[in-house]
């Protein structure tokens, strides 16, 4: 066995992180954990995973559920297309594979929402297929271990990283090995300053020897997220509140309060709503400002509240939802401040 692999597995046997999805062989459960872990911190997933698996314990349960319920269980995890793709994938496995997940990375990749990384992760952990699962953590470890200075997003460099990662995978404990590299990248060989002193690979690491580890991997500069201003209005009428189910790609299927891009004065905002509804919300008031950071966007929100008569008209594109039903709907975290504001207005009334 490669000495790097040997040292890693020895370290993993003693230091593996406890997680609800560790030690399972059920490919569906592993798939769910991998999808949740994409762009989300392990500690957050620790909470969500058991709840999700309790509600949808099998692939069949997930495939048969309503989309809104799946999004509700995903609420707060972000990147909601993951949940929709996971369910679409589960339905595909039911229809095309008789409910049994295929075992090879190539076949797994044909399933909706399963990309190169997840296919290898599921194949190695659930079925023991000796393939590396290469994600950002693994790229960082490999670049440092072999002192690779090239940009890993370039195809040639990426292929070299994959080949080196493949050489390390043992025939008999592929899943453990992949999880060991992930754990090392997440807890020891972390971005920024790596914890070389406590690393099981320190004697073999060329990046540490050359003093370059901290600067690796050599990733191209990231663009800062785009700031967008929104006015968000919490419009109420006769125990109902005006909401909209998003149809845009971003946050599709989730519910939001009415939002318009840009910041206006309350008078101008009230005029805009009169044009939309035919009724002017006379008591439109600024409630608070809120900010939500996505990967590519920052929403800078001004929150307003307004009360309309009980017979407020229908507004095209929006739905008047009874306030007691709001809690059951899936909302993105970006709407947390607006939901709190609605809660405060309701409290004042009672």
In the complex, the residues that contact ligand SF4 under the rule CB under 6 A are 141, 144-145, 188-189, 194-196, 199, 201-202, 205, 207-208, 213
Residue listed under structure tokens 């392990």: 42
Nearer to ligand SF4, 147 or 260 (CB): 147
Nearer to ligand SF4, 202 or 263 (CB): 202
Cβ-contact 31, 56 below 8 angstroms: no
Length of the chain equals: 350
Return the structure tokens found at 154. 């370039």
Contacts of 293 (CB under 8 A, 6+ apart): 225
Classify residue 135 by burial, with Cβ atoms within 10 Å: 0-12, 13-18, 19+: buried
Nearer to ligand SF4, 144 or 240 (CB): 144
Nearer to ligand SF4, 173 or 208 (CB): 208
End-to-end CA distance of the chain: 69
Q: Partners of 290 in the beta sheet?
A: 301
* H or E segment to which residue 288 belongs: strand 285-293
Omega cis (within 30) before 217: yes
Cβ-contact 286, 266 below 8 angstroms: yes
Q: What is the DSSP letter of 324?
A: G
**What is the secondary structure of 244-270 as a DSSP string?**
EE--SSTTTT-EE--EEES---HHHHH
Task: Give CA separation, 141 vs 19, 147, 207, in Å.
Answer: 22, 10, 10
- The minimum distance between CB 190 and ligand SF4, in angstroms, equals 8
34 classed as catalytic: yes
Nearer to ligand SF4, 207 or 281 (CB): 207
Residue listed under structure tokens 């592993």: 30
What 3-state class would DSSP assign to 285? Answer: strand
- The minimum distance between CB 156 and ligand SF4, in angstroms, equals 23
Q: Which residue of the set 6, 14, 18, 34 is catalytic? A: 34
Residues marked active site are found at 34
């Amino acid at each position: 066995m490669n000495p790097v692999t040997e040292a890693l597995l020895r370290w993993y046997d003693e230091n593996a992180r406890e997680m609800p999805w560790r030690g399972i062989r059920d490919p569906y459960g592993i798939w769910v954990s991998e999808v949740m872990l994409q762009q989300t911190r392990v500690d957050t997933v620790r909470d969500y995973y058991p709840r999700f698996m309790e509600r949808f314990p099998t692939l069949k349960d997930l495939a048969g559920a309503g989309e809104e319920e799946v999004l509700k269980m995903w609420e707060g995890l972000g990147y909601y297309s993951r949940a929709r793709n996971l369910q679409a994938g589960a339905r595909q496995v039911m229809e095309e594979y008789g409910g049994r997940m295929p075992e090879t990375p190539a076949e797994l990749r044909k399933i909706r929402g399963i990309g190169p990384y997840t296919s290898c992760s599921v194949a190695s952990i659930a079925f023991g297929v000796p393939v590396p699962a290469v994600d950002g953590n693994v790229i960082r470890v490999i670049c440092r271990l072999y002192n690779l200075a090239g940009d890993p997003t370039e195809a040639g460099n990426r292929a070299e990283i994959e080949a080196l990662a493949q050489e390390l995978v043992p025939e008999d404990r592929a899943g453990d090995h992949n999880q060991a590299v992930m754990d090392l990248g997440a807890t020891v060989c972390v971005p920024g300053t790596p914890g070389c002193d406590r690393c099981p690979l320190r004697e073999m690491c060329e990046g540490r020897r050359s003093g370059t580890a901290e600067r690796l991997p050599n990733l191209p500069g990231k663009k800062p997220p785009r700031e967008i201003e929104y006015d968000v209005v919490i419009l109420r009428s006769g125990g109902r509140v005006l909401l909209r189910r998003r149809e845009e790609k971003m946050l599709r299927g989730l519910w939001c309060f009415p939002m318009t891009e840009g910041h206006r004065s309350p008078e101008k905002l009230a005029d805009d709503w009169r044009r939309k509804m035919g009724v002017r919300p006379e008591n439109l008031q600024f409630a608070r400002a809120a900010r939500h950071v996505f990967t590519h966007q920052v929403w800078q929100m001004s929150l307003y509240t307004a009360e309309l008569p009980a017979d407020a008209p229908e507004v095209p594109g929006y739905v008047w939802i009874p306030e007691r039903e709001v809690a059951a709907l899936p909302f993105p975290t970006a709407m947390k401040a607006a939901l709190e504001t609605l809660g405060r207005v309701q409290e004042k009334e009672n």
